[in-house]
Structure 1
Amino acid sequence: MSAEGVEAIAIGASAGAVQALLRILPALPADYPIPLFIVVHVPPDRSNALVSLFAAKCQIAVREAEDKEPILPGTVYFAPSDYHLLVEADRSLSLSMDEPVNHSRPAIDVLLESAADAYGPALAAIVLTGANHDGAAGLKAVCAAGGTAIVQDFADAQVATMPEAALTACPSARVMTLDDLIPYLLTLAAT
């Protein structure tokens, strides 16, 4: 699939997420033009330290997503703890307290399905390391909408269950190591 025309990137990760994202996000320059939406499974009873952790290590802007917030280019949006993160058709973000999906809130499927509806073929979605099946149905929706689907190489993932399930649901997904993913994301910004 061509990298051209990607207007947004959605990423889902669970077990091993912090290590994987620490390889990817700091590699993005301050002027990276594409917004990134990220769901990491964070227990609801814990405060989400991801924003402060990544803001200190990244050149690109990093923030916690807020309800009804317009999407800005070149910004990483993390889902808050205990809220689903959705992308709306008007290119804004919304938060939901709907039931957990795959025992998770935020759930990767919710993000990917809503982003696929909002962006269609202009979305690139990435399922990284994790120990459950969250992200599989969402990546299938991205494929159905004509978006670019990517899963982390199983050998490269700390826990391969999630990327394996996503590839099964979306066999046309590209398989990449984290080292392959970084130049690919940089290429997206140049198209």
Structure 2
Amino acid sequence: MVAKVVVIGASIGGLSALKILLKNMPKDLACPIIVVQHRHPDSRHRLRDILQENTALTIREVEDKDEILPGYVYLAPADYHLLVESGFFALSTDEPVSYARPSIDVLFESAADIYGEQVIGVILTGANEDGVQGLKMVKLKFGLAIVQDPKTAECAVMPKAAINAVAVDWILPLEEIAQKLIYLCHYTGKGSLSKCQ
């Protein structure tokens, strides 16, 4: 399995969690990271600006039809669903899913449809069950599933829901999730040291 994209979902407590997760990511990380963080529709670019202070990767709020490139952390804009298509993004104003827009499920399901076993899905802290169906789809398509250890989450509802519903590959605290992603994105493959393509 060669990972092509990392998709991350977070809700309550997500800002702090993402800051820790992205802090030590190398600038040359071979997989793009795509994030849905539940937030207020009027939050504009504040999330991007705060996260950019904490990572060497380039933080970008997605615009419709943006190309998906390594070395970036892509954020779903406030009040838009973010979908992955073949090599680029699409934005949608369809109805909220699990009371959320952007929805973690929408991102994860679209990424799994396009990239199949080359997707790594990560569920972080949060107060609802958004992301459970999406993570199920990632696993159905033979991707990898990582969930934040609920004992370390600011709000454990979302990680617990994912663990209860999905056969996840790893349950880890944030620092270990970061190290796992670095390893998987640089050293995945059948016994080789092949980078993500």
TM-score when scaled to structure 2?
A: 0.91
Aligned residue for 1:99? 95
The size of the alignment, in residue pairs, is 187
Q: Structure 1 residue aligned with 2:129, among 105, 118, 133?
A: 133
CA distance in 2, matches of 1:35, 1:113: 17
Deviation, 1:58, is 1.2
Listed as ranges, the gaps of 5+ residues in structure 2 are 188-197
Q: Does 1:39 align with 2:36?
A: yes
C-alpha offsets along residues 57-111 of structure 1, whole Å, 9 cap, x if unaligned?
A: 21111100111111011110000000000101x2211100000011110010000
Q: Which moved more, 1:115-124 or 1:178-187?
A: 178-187
Structure 1 segments of 4 or more deviating over 3 A?
Answer: none
Q: Does 1:11 align with 2:33?
A: no
Kept after mapping to 1: 8 A contact 2:57/2:72: yes
Matches for 1:1-191 after TM superposition, within 5 Å:
4-88=1-85, 90-191=86-187
**Sequence identity, in percent?**
44
Listed as ranges, the gaps of 5+ residues in structure 1 are none
Equivalent residue of 2:147, what SS?
strand
TM-score when scaled to structure 1?
A: 0.94
CA distance in 2, matches of 1:14, 1:48: 17
RMSD: 1.1
CA distance in 2, matches of 1:71, 1:102: 26
Kept after mapping to 2: 8 A contact 1:139/1:169: no
Amino acid at match of 1:140: K
CA distance in 1, matches of 2:27, 2:168: 31
Deviation, 1:47, is 2.3
